[in-house]
Amino acid sequence: MENLQSLLHGFTIAVTVPHLTLMVIGVLLGILVGVLPGLGAPNGVSLLLPLTFGMQPVSAIILLSSMYWGALFGGSVTSILFNIPGEPSSVATTFDGYPMARDGRPTTALATAFGSAAFGALVGVILITFLASWVAQVALAFGPPEYFAVYFLAFASFVGMGGAAPIKTVVALAIGFAIAAIGIDTVSGSVRLNMGIDELVKGVSFVVAVMGLFGIGELLIAVEEEFQARAVSSRVDWKEVFRALGRLPRHSIALLRSAAIGCWMGITPGGPTAASFMSYGIAKRFSRNGARFGSGEAEGIIAPETADHAAGTSALLPMLSLGIPGSATAAVMMGGLMIWGLNPGPMLFVDQKDFVWGLIASMYVGNIVAVALVLLTVPVFAALMRIPFAVIAPLIVIICVVGAYSVSNSYLDVVLMLGFGVVGYLFKKLHYPLAPLVLAIVIGDKAEDAFRQAMLMSKGSLGIFFANRLVTTLVLAGIALLLLPLVLQIVRLLRKPDEAAHEKVRII
Amino acid sequence: MISRRALEIATAALTGIFGVVVVVSSIDNGIGWSSAGVDAGTFPFLTGIIIVLGSLYNMGQGALGRGTLAMVRVAVTPSELRRLAGLFVPAAIFVAVIPIVGMYLASAGYVFAVLALPKQQSVFRAIAIAVATPLALYVVFERMFQVSLPRGALAAAFGF
């Protein structure tokens, strides 16, 4: 009941004219980056981040999270109308969404997608409402060893369940840690890893890194794959919208299952992309109409969309209550929190009640705003797709350059940003995962501090990580996840070689 | 044409070199245990070692042509490379001239060059976008958010 009271209080913060305006702006910008290929939620949020430095934390997070919802919805629009996923997480929506739209039912496809997406988001927000403060309460009892164990678990689950080549994930993580260590060491005060460049003493801001990795890097990927937009009709028939929404409850099993998959993948750092693919695959296997998937089946839209949004939303739960983001976008937002002077983690629920509950309340409102706006603006944004990429690309470059500069008025940051752009391109191209890299840059310092404090407590003995049941369980779970790819590899080798080859094709 | 194998090896070499730099410079900070607890260089040292080992593994996998993307032989075709350079080279020049001519002039020139020279857009439209961009930057950053953007050595020479 206390949660509901706090939530009501949150609504009084979120439902004010300035915050509703910010939500509308955020959602519209979000749909814009979601619709434009080569820009996605993480880029959009990082491009907007420098503009929020002077804002109130609540207003800033409402703006950024609304942008996130908008981007999630916008990505589905292009998937359905153009067969071009605006976001990696809406790739699975193209499988059935585009065939349905091509068959002359674009409104049905869009309404089904938005309806199930809203349901997924709702389940995610409800989960946050009831679980977040409880998780935070548990986490309040954590000491440095427990914290390090939780961080370790988060990193290990990227390796074990992230889906990329495990060693590439490990390298990406370790590079992130090293980048986080650049600059003044918070414990000893000595300067680390500045490689002879004096200006590096201030460290490398994660904003600079994400601007390059996601902004320039994805731009390079997008320019390489020349794309052509061939739209089906983007007219919205309002009666059909309500008919399609009315048909959703018939698929309640698919909705609930997909939402559950989404929430699970969001809290563990599987992320929205993995969630939508997994949900689509499972729906195809278990649905009565499984054989017709791929030819415009409603359940083929419901499954990935519900899971995508459930995962996107619930990724904020560990960010808020533990200080560990569940997705790349959440990692960027968490970096924002730290810049605004907040300390993500359980203390937020004690010190910053207004912030936390304002944000949670804004998720309910923001998603309603997003559904309404995305339906109203489908024709406008569909028309935007016809702006040539050649015009958009230099503008994105300029936004990244100015954004990187404005972090600390440093030209070095701009050069670094461009360097990160090349790294982002190479990593994306060779399937090194970017999310763990960003995660490590954002929370690398905290993980290291936790480790060193734990070592101080135990006078240098690693035994402290096995001192009580909680910490032992966390560490063992982490080690198990780290070893998971190795075990799978061995299992695969023991099976027939041709089966292994099939497996490989499937992974691609 | 760049083969996938070459790209894998080059990227692994890049990450490996970064790892070596991290290892070398963290040794300066001291690694191991001292009276004040874990030394400042220990954590970076370990991450550096992990980067080097992981890079060696990735390089081996890349050279042997194994791993999840083994089927894809060609990473970048010549036409793709041309498009990549078409985006990146002007962007790099743009960044390089910022200290000289400042953000506003550089961005206007960059937009104009990218749009007008390859005949992507009509000259008039290119000029319009090139003028609008720095104006928008000025309004958003200098006016609304009070972030001053670099004006460059040229503007300083004229006494701005």
Cα of B156 to nearest chain A Cα, Å:
16
Q: Could you count the other beta carbons within 10 Å of the beta carbon of residue B156?
A: 11
pLDDT level of residue A1 (50, 70, 90 thresholds): low
Q: Are A145 and A457 in contact (CB under 8 A)?
A: yes
Classify B147 as helix, strand or coil. coil
User: Residue A507: which pLDDT band, with cuts at 50, 70 and 90?
Assistant: very low
Asked if A27 and A373 count as a contact pair (C-beta separation under 8 A), the reply is yes
- CB-CB neighbors (< 8 A) of A395 in chain B: 111, 133
Q: What is the pLDDT of residues A52-100, one digit of tens each?
A: 887 888 999 999 999 988 988 888 887 888 777 766 677 788 888 888 8
* pLDDT computed for residue A242 by the predictor: 84
- CA–CA gap between residue B37 and residue B52 (Å, rounded): 26
Residue A118 scores a pLDDT above 80 = yes
pLDDT for A39 beyond 80: no
Closest residue of chain A to B140, computed from CA coordinates: A51
User: In this structure, are B66 and B113 located in the same domain?
Assistant: no
DSSP letter, residue A431:
T
- Average pLDDT for B20-43: 80
Cβ(A220)–Cβ(A389) below 8 Å: no
pLDDT in tens, B113-158: 888 877 666 888 888 888 998 898 888 777 766 677 888 777 777 7
Same domain, B54 and B84: no
Boundary (domain end) residue, out of B76, B102, B130: B76
**Which residues, other chains included, contact A135 with Cβ-Cβ below 8 Å and sequence gap of 6+?**
A317, A318, A321, A322, A346
DSSP letters of B22-45? HHHHHHHT--SEETTEE-TTHHHH
pLDDT mean over A402-408: 82
Opening angle at CA B73, ends B72 and B76, nearest 5: 95
Could you give phi then psi for residue B41, rounded to 5 degrees?
-85, -10
A126 C-beta neighbours (distance < 10 Å), count: 17
Q: How many CB atoms lie within 10 A of CB A251?
A: 23
Q: Are A95 and A83 in contact (CB under 8 A)?
A: no
B17: pLDDT confidence band, cut at 50, 70 and 90?
Answer: very high
C-alpha closest to that of A212 among B24, B130, B86, B91: B91
Final residue of a structural domain among B76, B101, B123:
B76
Whether residues B71 and B84 fall in one domain: no
- DSSP readout, A64-77? HHHHHHHHHHHHHH
Residue A86: DSSP 8-state = S
| Pairwise CA distance, residues B120 & B117, whole Å | 7
Q: Do B107 and B92 share a domain, yes or no? A: yes
Name the band, by pLDDT with cuts 50, 70 and 90, for residue A502.
very low
pLDDT of residue A282: 84
Q: What value does the mean pLDDT take over residues A346-358? A: 87
The tens digit of pLDDT for each residue in A246-283 reads 888 888 888 999 999 888 888 876 677 778 888 888 88
Q: What is the DSSP letter of A164?
A: S
Residue with tokens 């490989």: A504
pLDDT score at A423: 94
B86 with B139, same domain: the answer is yes
Dihedral angle, C-alpha A57, A58, A61, A64, nearest 10 °? -110
Among candidates A397, A402, A451 on the partner chain, residue whose Cβ is nearest the Cβ of B43: A451
Domain boundaries, chain A: 2-507
The strand ranges marked E within chain B are 2-3, 33-34, 37-38, 74-76
- B134 close to A (CB below 8 A): no
Show the CA angle centred on residue A182, arms to residues A179 and A186, nearest 5°. 120
Looking at residue A389, its pLDDT comes to 76
B99 touches chain A (CB under 8 A): yes
Q: What total number of domains does chain B contain?
A: 2
Place of tokens 């904020």: A316
Residue A506 confidence (pLDDT) above 60: no
pLDDT band at residue A505, thresholds of 50, 70 and 90? very low
Name which of B18, B69, B118 is nearest A175 (Cβ-Cβ). B18
pLDDT tens-digit profile of A319-335? Answer: 888 888 777 788 888 88
pLDDT in tens, B49-103: 999 999 999 999 888 877 655 566 777 888 888 888 888 999 999 999 998 888 8
Q: Out of B43, B69, B75, whose CB is closest to A181?
A: B43
Residue A103 DSSP symbol: T
Same structural domain, B88 and B57: no
With a CB cutoff of 8 Å and minimum separation 6, the contacts of A461 are none
Tell me the DSSP string of A209-238: HHIIIIIIHHHHHHHHS-----PPP----H
B51 and B87 share a domain?
no
- Which DSSP symbol is given to A466? G
User: Which residue out of A158, A168, A458 would a mutagenesis test of the B interface target, given it has the greatest number of B Cβ atoms within 10 Å?
Assistant: A168
Q: Which of A152, A173, A193 to mutate to test the interface with B (most CBs of B within 10 A)?
A: A193
Distance, in angstroms, between B113 CA and closest chain A CA?
Answer: 10
Does A158 or B7 have the greater pLDDT score?
B7
Contacts of A225 in chain B (CB under 8 A): 80
Co-location of B60 and B6 in the same domain: yes
User: How is residue A351 written in tokens?
Assistant: 């010190």
Identify whether the C-beta of residue A363 lies closer than 8 Å to the C-beta of residue A319.
no
Q: What is the DSSP letter of A85?
A: -
Predicted TM-score of the model (pTM): 0.80
- pLDDT surpasses 50 at A508: no
Written as six digits, the tokens of A264 are: 């699970």
- Calculated CA dihedral for residues A29, A35, A37, A43, nearest 10 degrees: 30
Of B35, B55, B76, the position where a domain reaches its end is B76
* pLDDT > 70 in chain A, percent: 92
Search chain B and give the residue with CA nearest A399: B137
Neighbour tally for A490: CB within 10 Å: 9
The domain of B150 spans 79-157
ipTM of model over 0.85:
yes
